[in-house]
C-alpha cells in the first residue's frame, strides 16, 4: 500500500499545502467519500474540452448539426483506456462547448469494428430511409479478414437514424463499397454536391484520396484519385474532408488530409490542399505542403456537416506517438475546441485560417485589459489575474521587433512556454519542463511553427485549459495545439522579453468550466 506521508514528503509542496491534503484524505477515509480522491485522480481532466467519462477515445467522426443540436460521434472503446475494438461514441451539445455524453451509437458487428466516417442530413430522402434522416457513413474494419492479409479488410457501410441520433439502424445491404484490395481504405467523408445533385465521398486510400459519387448513399461510383505525388507522405493518409470556402468572390475547395506519422513536429498531423473540385476531380492550385496545426495534438480534424456557411472544425487532441501512454485516468484523450475556418491570401499563396468559434465566449468570466505596456525582462500577470485554475484566454497584440515568450507556471516549478523567435520568424511551444513528460521519450520537446503573416503587428490568442494550450497567431494563419500534464494547476502567468517589446493591447479573461 502507498504511504501517503512518504509520497507527500517527496513532492514539491509547501508545508501548509501538505497538511491540507492530509486533512482532506482523512476526511475521505472517515466519511467514506471518494469525491475528493476522484478529483485528485482526475487532475488532468479538461474543463471545457470534450472528454469521455471513462475509457479510450480517438478520432471525432460523424459530426453533424441537426435540429438545433451539434452531434459529436467519436472512435470509442468502452472496455479499456487503451485502443481496442472501435465503436462510435456519441455526445451532444447546443453550443459545441458544453457536451453531454450519450449512449454508444454504433457497435461492432459481423462485418467488423466501426471505424471513422461521417454523417449527413438526407433532406431530400435520397436513400429512402425518411425525409431528414440522419445517415452515418463509416468504415467496417474486419480483424479476421485483416489477418488473412488480403488487403480487403476495410469496407464502407451506412446506418440511419429517424429519432435525431438516439437510435441507429444499420443498412441491410452493407457494405455499400467493397474493397478493391487497398490495405488502408477508410474514413469516408460525405457531402451533397448541389450542381450535380449527388453525394460525393472523399475516401482515404493508403497514400492518396479516392473520390466516389452516389445518387442515394447506397450505390457508389468511383471517380478519381488525388495526391499520389502531392503533399506530405511520411505516413498513411487518413480522415479526409472536402468543402468549399468563398474567398474574394469565388469558391475555393479545401481538401484536408490527416497523416500519421509525418507531421511537421513528428507523429500525427493534418495537412490541407486548396484548389478546384468539379464533382469528380480535385485539382490543387499549389505545390506547397500546408499544415492545419503545427502543434502535435490536433489529429483527425474534420468539419461538422449541415452548418450552412460556417466551416467548423474539431480534432482529436492527442498524437499516436503517445496517445496510449498519457497519464490520465480513467479516460484517455480529449477533443480540441471547435474552430471556424476561413482563407487568407499572403503574397501569392492562400492559406487556411482557424480561429476559436464565437460560442466559446460563454465561458468568459472576469477580465482585465492593458494598453501600451513595455515589457523588459518580465511582466508578471499572476496577481492581476487572480486565477488559481489555469483556465484562461489571453488576447494580445505586439510587434515583431524582438523575441518574447508567454510563460505558464505553477507552484511545483513546471513551466509551459509559448513564444516567438524573431531571428527565425517562428512561433514555438516548449513543454520540456511542463510536468509529467517521462511516459514517452519524445513528449517533452519544443515544437516550432513558421510565421506566414508579413505585417509587423503580431496578434495572438492563447486558450489554456487544465492540460492543453491552443495558440492562434496572426488571426489564425499559424495555429499550434499542445497537451501537457502539470503537477498542479498553471496558476502563474508572465510575459518575458530580454531585449524588450511593447504590448499594444492585452486582454486576459478567466474561463469557467463548461456546465455539463
Strands (E), 132-260: 133-141, 154-161, 169-170, 185-193, 198-205, 208-214, 221-226, 236-247, 250-260
Q: Distance (Å, rounded) from C-alpha 175 to C-alpha 154?
A: 10
Q: Distance (Å, rounded) from C-alpha 212 to C-alpha 158?
A: 15
Of the candidates 59, 122, 465, 482, the residue annotated as catalytic is 59
Question: Cis omega before residue 261 (within 30°)?
Answer: yes
Q: Distance (Å, rounded) from C-alpha 433 to C-alpha 421?
A: 19
Q: Which residue has the cell 519542463?
A: 433
CA 414 from centroid of its chain's CA atoms: 24
Greatest distance between any 2 Cα atoms in the chain: 71
Q: Distance (Å, rounded) from C-alpha 240 to C-alpha 230?
A: 15
Q: Distance (Å, rounded) from C-alpha 191 to C-alpha 254?
A: 13
In this structure, are residues 57 and 89 in contact, taking their beta carbons and an 8 Å threshold? yes
Residues facing residue 154 across a β-bridge: 141
Contacts 24+ apart (CB under 8 A), 15-20: 17/411
Q: Distance (Å, rounded) from C-alpha 290 to C-alpha 273?
A: 7
In this structure, are residues 272 and 290 in contact, taking their beta carbons and an 8 Å threshold? yes
> Is 186 in a helix, a strand, or coil?
strand
In this structure, are residues 49 and 60 in contact, taking their beta carbons and an 8 Å threshold? no
In this structure, are residues 296 and 267 in contact, taking their beta carbons and an 8 Å threshold? yes
The answer to whether 278 is a known catalytic residue is no
Q: Distance (Å, rounded) from C-alpha 88 to C-alpha 72?
A: 10
Strands (E), 30-132: 55-66, 69-77, 87-93, 100-106, 113-122
What residues are labeled active site? 59
Amino acid at each position: 500500500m502507498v504511504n501517503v506521508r512518504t509520497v507527500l514528503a517527496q513532492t514539491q509542496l509547501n508545508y501548509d499545502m501538505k497538511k491540507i491534503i492530509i486533512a482532506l484524505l482523512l476526511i475521505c477515509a472517515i466519511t467514506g467519500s471518494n469525491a475528493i480522491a476522484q478529483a485528485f485522480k482526475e487532475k488532468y481532466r479538461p474543463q471545457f474540452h470534450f472528454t469521455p467519462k471513462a475509457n479510450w477515445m480517438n478520432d471525432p467522426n460523424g459530426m453533424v448539426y441537426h435540429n438545433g443540436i451539434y452531434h459529436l460521434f467519436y472512435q470509442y472503446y468502452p472496455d479499456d483506456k487503451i485502443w481496442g475494438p472501435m465503436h462510435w461514441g456519441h455526445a451532444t451539445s447546443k453550443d459545441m462547448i458544453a457536451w453531454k455524453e450519450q449512449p454508444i451509437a454504433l457497435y461492432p458487428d459481423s462485418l467488423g469494428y466501426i471505424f471513422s466516417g461521417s454523417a449527413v442530413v438526407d433532406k431530400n430522402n435520397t436513400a429512402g430511409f425518411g425525409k431528414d434522416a440522419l445517415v452515418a457513413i463509416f468504415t467496417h474494419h474486419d480483424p479476421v479478414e485483416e489477418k488473412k492479409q488480403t488487403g480487403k479488410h476495410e469496407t464502407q457501410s451506412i446506418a440511419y437514424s429517424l429519432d435525431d441520433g438516439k437510435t441507429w439502424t444499420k443498412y441491410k445491404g452493407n457494405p455499400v463499397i467493397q474493397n478493391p484490395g487497398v490495405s488502408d481504405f477508410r474514413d469516408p467523408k460525405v457531402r451533397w454536391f448541389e450542381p450535380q445533385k449527388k453525394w460525393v465521398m472523399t475516401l482515404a486510400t493508403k497514400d492518396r484520396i479516392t473520390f466516389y459519387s452516389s445518387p442515394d448513399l447506397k450505390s457508389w461510383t468511383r471517380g478519381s484519385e488525388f495526391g499520389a505525388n502531392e503533399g506530405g507522405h511520411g505516413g498513411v493518409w487518413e480522415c479526409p474532408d472536402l468543402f468549399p470556402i468563398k474567398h474574394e468572390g469565388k469558391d475555393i475547395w479545401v481538401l484536408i488530409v490527416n497523416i500519421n506519422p509525418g507531421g511537421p513536429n513528428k507523429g500525427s498531423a493534418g495537412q490541407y490542399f486548396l484548389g478546384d473540385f468539379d464533382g469528380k476531380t480535385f485539382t490543387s492550385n499549389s505545390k506547397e505542403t500546408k499544415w492545419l496545426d503545427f502543434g502535435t495534438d490536433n489529429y483527425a480534424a474534420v468539419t461538422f456537416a449541415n452548418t450552412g456557411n460556417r466551416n467548423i472544425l474539431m480534432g482529436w487532441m492527442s498524437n499516436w506517438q503517445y496517445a496510449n501512454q498519457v497519464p490520465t485516468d480513467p479516460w484517455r484523450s480529449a477533443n480540441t475546441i471547435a474552430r471556424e475556418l476561413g482563407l487568407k491570401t499572403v503574397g501569392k499563396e492562400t492559406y487556411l485560417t482557424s480561429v476559436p468559434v464565437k460560442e466559446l465566449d460563454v465561458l468568459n468570466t472576469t477580465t482585465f485589459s492593458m494598453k501600451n505596456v513595455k515589457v523588459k525582462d518580465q511582466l508578471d500577470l499572476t496577481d492581476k489575474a487572480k486565477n488559481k485554475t489555469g483556465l484562461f484566454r489571453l488576447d494580445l497584440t505586439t510587434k515583431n521587433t524582438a523575441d518574447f515568450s508567454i510563460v505558464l507556471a505553477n507552484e511545483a516549478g513546471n513551466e509551459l512556454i509559448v513564444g516567438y523567435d524573431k531571428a527565425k520568424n517562428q512561433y514555438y511551444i516548449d513543454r520540456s519542463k511542463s510536468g509529467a513528460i517521462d511516459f514517452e521519450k519524445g513528449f517533452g520537446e519544443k515544437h516550432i511553427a513558421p510565421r506566414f503573416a508579413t505585417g509587423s503587428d503580431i496578434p495572438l490568442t492563447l486558450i489554456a485549459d487544465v492540460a492543453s494550450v491552443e495558440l492562434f497567431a496572426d488571426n489564425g494563419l499559424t495555429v499550434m495545439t499542445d497537451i501537457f500534464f502539470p503537477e498542479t494547476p498553471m496558476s502563474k502567468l508572465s510575459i518575458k522579453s530580454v531585449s524588450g517589446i511593447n504590448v499594444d493591447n492585452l486582454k486576459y479573461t478567466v474561463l469557467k468550466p463548461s456546465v455539463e
